[in-house]
């Protein structure tokens, strides 16, 4: 008589309803305390003294200058880092050359170095006691404690974002399409604009959005190289800190609401792009209908 196989597969983690509900509950509580609560407090405190105070804070000359300087840094840093990310991803994924892995390591450096450390490093490069400081001072070129230093620091901390989004996707796509286009007589630029760019456009936009959000919210590196001069070299995050230290809590929260709004819009754009394309969300194939 044949013996029945009574072996059962071991239960997976989370199969038990109690454990699953407990895990989901812990995640929801942490999200509420760490993410949702601060955003709600920003909105509540910003409007605590009414719309008039909120409006006066936003239209104050120092606040408007901080907003304009933040936008200016983004307008310069984001296009430059977009071009850098595209060039780096193209070189790394489409060509074989000595030092490719070293280039990947260099691209990752801004993620592993503290922004404050990066700001201090700029002091030793472009400051008066730095490598190029005396030469810049002789030519009356001011980089640190001025707008160029803010832009350079913003470019450093956001350099990897576009490249990090493009490199994995372009590696997965391979080189077959570009090689086919080249064999048919297409030039390098024609191949890029007609073949490569359409296949990575959603990942590119995703990286640009993340890069822009990071520029808008950068604090550490910019605080070191800007000098925190009120109304001159203060970006919006630095302006918020000054308002808070001046015991203008409502003004600080009103200014912070602008960055919070940018963060929410970034999340919405991120979700929209993930749904739209970039190979992240694909519709499930319909089962084939049986012939009756």
Residue 186 lies in a domain: yes
> Across the chain, which distance is largest between two alpha carbons, in Å?
99
- Residue 267, pLDDT score: 82
SS3 of the chain: helix, strand, coil, percent, to 5: 75, 0, 25
Contact predicate 215/206, CB 8 Å:
no
Residue 61 lies in a domain: yes
- Residue 10, pLDDT score: 62
**Nearest Cα to 200, choosing from 286, 96, 88, 106?**
88
**Nearest Cα to 204, choosing from 83, 77, 71, 73?**
83
Residue 286 lies in a domain: no
Q: Give residue-wise pLDDT tens across range 115-173.
A: 999 999 999 999 888 888 888 888 988 888 889 999 999 999 999 999 999 999 888 88
Contact predicate 267/203, CB 8 Å:
no
Burial class (CB in 10 A: 0-12, 13-18, 19+), 47: middle
What contacts 159, CB < 8 A, 6 or more positions away?
Answer: 81, 84, 85, 107, 110
Query: Which residue range(s) make up the domain with 149?
Result: 50-275
Q: Give residue-wise pLDDT tens across range 29-55.
A: 999 999 889 888 988 888 888 888 888
38 and 114 part of one domain? no
pLDDT at 14 over 50: yes
Contact predicate 138/91, CB 8 Å:
no
b/e per residue, 108-131, with b = 16+ CB within 10 A? eebeeeebeebbbbbbeebbeebe
- Residue 72, pLDDT score: 94
- Residue 269, pLDDT score: 82
pTM of the predicted model as reported, rounded to 2 decimal places: 0.81
Q: Give residue-wise pLDDT tens across range 58-85.
A: 888 999 999 999 999 999 999 999 999 9
- Give Cα 199 to chain centroid, integer Å: 21
27 and 114 part of one domain? no
- Residue 280, pLDDT score: 47
Residue 6 lies in a domain: no
pLDDT at 2 over 60: no
Scanning 95-191, the segments in alpha helix (DSSP H) are 100-112, 115-126, 133-138, 147-158, 160-173, 176-183, 188-191
**Structural domain count, the chain:** 2
Residue 7 lies in a domain: no
111 and 235 part of one domain? yes
Give me the CATH number covering residue 101. 1.10.3720.10
pLDDT band at 289 (very low <50, low <70, confident <90, very high): very low
Residue 3 lies in a domain: no
How far apart CA 47 and CA 154 sit, in angstroms, is 30
The H or E element spanning position 233 is none
81 and 29 part of one domain? no
pLDDT band at 8 (very low <50, low <70, confident <90, very high): low
pLDDT band at 11 (very low <50, low <70, confident <90, very high): low
25 and 83 part of one domain? no
Contact predicate 46/257, CB 8 Å:
yes
Query: What share of the chain has pLDDT > 70, as a percent?
Result: 89
- Residue 15, pLDDT score: 65
154 and 175 part of one domain? yes
Ramachandran assignment for 174, one of left (phi > 0), alpha (psi -120 to 50 degrees), beta (any other): left
42 and 137 part of one domain? no
20 and 93 part of one domain? no
70 and 141 part of one domain? yes
Residue 228 lies in a domain: yes
Residue 280 lies in a domain: no
Tokens representing 256 are 């912070």
172 and 68 part of one domain? yes
18 and 110 part of one domain? no
pLDDT band at 287 (very low <50, low <70, confident <90, very high): very low
Q: Give residue-wise pLDDT tens across range 174-208.
A: 888 888 888 888 887 888 888 888 888 888 988 99
Tokens representing 204 are 């590119």
How far apart CA 110 and CA 107 sit, in angstroms, is 7
Contact predicate 216/236, CB 8 Å:
yes
- Residue 232, pLDDT score: 86
What contacts 189, CB < 8 A, 6 or more positions away?
Answer: none
pLDDT at 288 over 50: no
118 and 21 part of one domain? no
Phi, psi of 208 (to 5 degrees): -65, -40
The whole-number average pLDDT for the span 2-18 is: 62
């Amino acid at each position: 008589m044949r013996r029945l196989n009574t072996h059962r597969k071991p239960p997976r983690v989370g199969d038990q309803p109690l454990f699953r509900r407990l895990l989901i509950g812990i995640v929801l509580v942490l999200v509420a305390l760490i993410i949702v609560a601060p955003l709600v407090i920003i909105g509540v405190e910003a409007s605590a003294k009414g719309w008039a105070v909120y409006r006066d804070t936003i239209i104050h000359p120092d606040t408007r200058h901080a907003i304009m300087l933040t936008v200016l840094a983004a307008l310069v840093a984001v296009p430059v880092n977009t071009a850098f990310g595209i060039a780096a991803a193209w070189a790394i994924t489409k060509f074989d050359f000595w030092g490719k892995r070293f280039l990947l390591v260099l691209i990752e450096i801004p993620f592993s170095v503290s922004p404050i450390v990066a700001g201090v490093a700029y002091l030793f490069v472009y400051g008066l006691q730095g490598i190029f400081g005396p030469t810049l001072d002789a030519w009356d070129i001011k980089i640190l404690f001025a707008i160029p230093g803010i832009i350079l620091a913003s470019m450093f901390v956001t350099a990897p974002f576009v490249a990090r989004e493009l490199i994995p996707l372009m590696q997965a796509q391979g080189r077959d399409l570009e090689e086919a286009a080249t064999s048919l007589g297409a030039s390098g630029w024609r191949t890029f604009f007609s073949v490569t760019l359409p296949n990575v456009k959603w990942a590119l936009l995703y990286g640009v959005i993340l890069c822009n959000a990071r520029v808008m919210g950068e604090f550490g590196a910019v605080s070191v190289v800007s000098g925190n001069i009120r109304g001159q070299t203060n970006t919006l995050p630095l302006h918020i800190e000054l308002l808070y230290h001046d015991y203008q809590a409502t003004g600080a929260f009103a200014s912070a609401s602008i960055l919070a709004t940018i963060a929410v819009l970034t999340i919405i754009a991120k979700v929209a792009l993930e749904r739209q394309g970039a190979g992240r969300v694909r519709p499930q194939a319909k089962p084939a209908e049986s012939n009756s």
